[in-house]
Amino acid sequence: MTADPRPARPTLLGQNQYGKAENRVVRVVRDGATHRIKDLNVSVALSGEMDAVHYSGSNANVLPTDTTKNTVFAFAKEHGIASAEAFGIHLARHFVTSQEQIHRARIRIEEYAWQRIGTTGHSFARGGQETPTTEVAYDGERFQVVSGLKDLVVLNSTDSEFWGYAKDPYTTLRETHDRILATEVTARWRFSWTGDPAGAEPPAWEESYEQVRGHLLDAFAGTYSLSLQQTLYAMGSRVIESHPGIDEVRLSLPNKHHFLVDLEPFGLKNENEVYHAADRPYGLIEGTVLRDGADARIPVTD
């Protein structure tokens, strides 16, 4: 007969669960030159015979939360991700059927949709989530109009490298010749139009926004990137070269790191398929691209 684990006090343990929250897993299926992406945020919560760990600290019935995290990544490789629902069913069934002390598993999943950019099979944008921005200044004589966007999330699942960089005793990053390149674009562009002379025809603002957004996406998708700085310059240059009414583009590109998950401990090979989408810290690349010879007397405000 199992001893009662409850301490002699006027309290009882109520509902409880534990697990690993917000496991960011990205699964890339490489069908030749055409890639498909499933990007999930998976939270696991388990409950069952957990009185002892709360009352006495005995971990005998506790499957570590780190194990639940590893299971998410391993299942992304072993079972693939046909849908968020199917993936959640695989996980929930596994935890309850493989651990006698686990009576219930709750899997919550957020899925992030990606839309293809242009004609490439490996370039994607997070659909419809960016926010347009506008800043207008007037000093009584001239206008300054700075349009922009933020929260435009884009990703290339290949055609990106990072190697040959400076190293010192604290450098641990491994060089790579094939990586995911992802960023969340914040861009601001300054129009040459100032309303001077009086009556000068202003640009078609909304049409310009769609054009600039398209140029940013095309340049991101079409650049074989050896660094995010190179991609930044290509994006800004594409806007300047394609839109004669814009004299300056400022870009802020956080590097949304995707790290290959080590699946070797589970006897699985990870051939650029399963990634951990890291939240922070992140590299932040910022820069300005200017039209050569343009009037730069009115800078974009910080």
Beta bridge partners of 191: 246
Q: How far is CA 78 from CA 31, 222, 290, in A?
A: 17, 32, 49
Residues 238 and 124 in one domain: yes
Residues 161 and 223 in one domain: yes
70 is in which domain, residue-wise?
A: 23-112
65 is catalytic: yes
Query: Does the annotation place 17 within a ligand binding site?
Result: no
Rounded to whole angstroms, the Cα distance separating 27 from 242 reads 35
Rounded to whole angstroms, the Cα distance separating 40 from 158 reads 19
Q: Which pLDDT does position 274 carry in this prediction? A: 97
- What's 214's domain CATH number? 3.10.270.10
Q: Nearest-5° angle of CA 113, CA 117, CA 118? A: 150
- Residue 207 — φ and ψ, nearest 5°? -65, -40
3-state secondary structure 211-260: HHHHHHHHHHHHCCECCHHHHHHHHHHHHHHHCCCEEEEEEEEEECCEEE
In a domain, 11, yes or no: no
Residues 99 and 130 in one domain: no
Q: Which pLDDT does position 210 carry in this prediction? A: 93
Note the pLDDT tens digit of each residue in 16-41: 999 999 999 999 999 999 999 999 99
Cis peptide before 281 (omega within 30 of 0): yes
Q: Which pLDDT does position 128 carry in this prediction? A: 62
Q: How many residues does the chain have?
A: 302
Note the pLDDT tens digit of each residue in 253-293: 999 999 999 999 999 999 999 999 998 899 999 999 999 98
Between 168 and 238, residue with greater pLDDT: 238
How many domains does the structure of the chain reveal? Answer: 2
Residues 183 and 278 in one domain: yes
Residues 128 and 34 in one domain: no
User: What percent of the chain stands above pLDDT 70?
Assistant: 94
**Residue in this structure with the two tokens 């202003």, named with its chain if needed:** 202
Residues 168 and 278 in one domain: yes
In a domain, 125, yes or no: yes
Which of 112, 137, 156 is the last residue in one of the domains? 112
Non-local CB neighbours of 50 within 8 Å, separated by 6+ positions: 16, 18, 61, 62, 101
Which of 95, 112, 129 is the last residue in one of the domains? 112
Between 4 and 84, residue with greater pLDDT: 84
Q: State the average pLDDT over residues 136-149.
A: 87
Residues 100 and 175 in one domain: no
Residues 195 and 149 in one domain: yes
269 is catalytic: no
**pLDDT surpassing 70 at residue 127:** no
In a domain, 75, yes or no: yes
Which of 65, 89, 112 is the last residue in one of the domains? 112
Query: Does the annotation place 87 within a ligand binding site?
Result: no
Residues 133 and 223 in one domain: yes
Could you write out the DSSP letters of every residue in 151-174? EEEEEESSSB-B-S----TT--PP
Query: Does the annotation place 178 within a ligand binding site?
Result: no
Q: Which pLDDT does position 298 carry in this prediction? A: 46
In a domain, 122, yes or no: yes
pTM summary value = 0.83
**pLDDT surpassing 90 at residue 247:** yes
In a domain, 16, yes or no: no
Note the pLDDT tens digit of each residue in 194-217: 888 767 788 999 899 999 999 999
In a domain, 31, yes or no: yes
User: One of 54, 65, 79, 94 is an active-site residue; which one?
Assistant: 65
**pLDDT surpassing 60 at residue 297:** no
Rounded to whole angstroms, the Cα distance separating 75 from 95 reads 12
Residues 41 and 189 in one domain: no
Rounded to whole angstroms, the Cα distance separating 213 from 223 reads 16
In a domain, 215, yes or no: yes
- Summary mean pLDDT of the chain: 91
Q: Which pLDDT does position 293 carry in this prediction? A: 83
Query: Does the annotation place 255 within a ligand binding site?
Result: yes
Question: Do the beta carbons of residue 25 and residue 274 sit within 8 Å?
Answer: yes
Rounded to whole angstroms, the Cα distance separating 261 from 266 reads 11
Query: Does the annotation place 280 within a ligand binding site?
Result: no
pLDDT bracket for residue 139 (50, 70, 90): confident
Per-residue tokens: 274: 């399963």
Residues 120 and 201 in one domain: yes
Q: How far is CA 76 from CA 23, 71, 93, 275, 288, in A?
A: 12, 8, 15, 9, 39
User: One of 90, 215, 257, 258 is an active-site residue; which one?
Assistant: 257
Note the pLDDT tens digit of each residue in 56-77: 999 999 999 999 999 999 999 9
Residues 155 and 252 in one domain: yes
In a domain, 15, yes or no: no
What amino acid is encoded at 16 in this protein?
A: N
Query: Does the annotation place 179 within a ligand binding site?
Result: yes
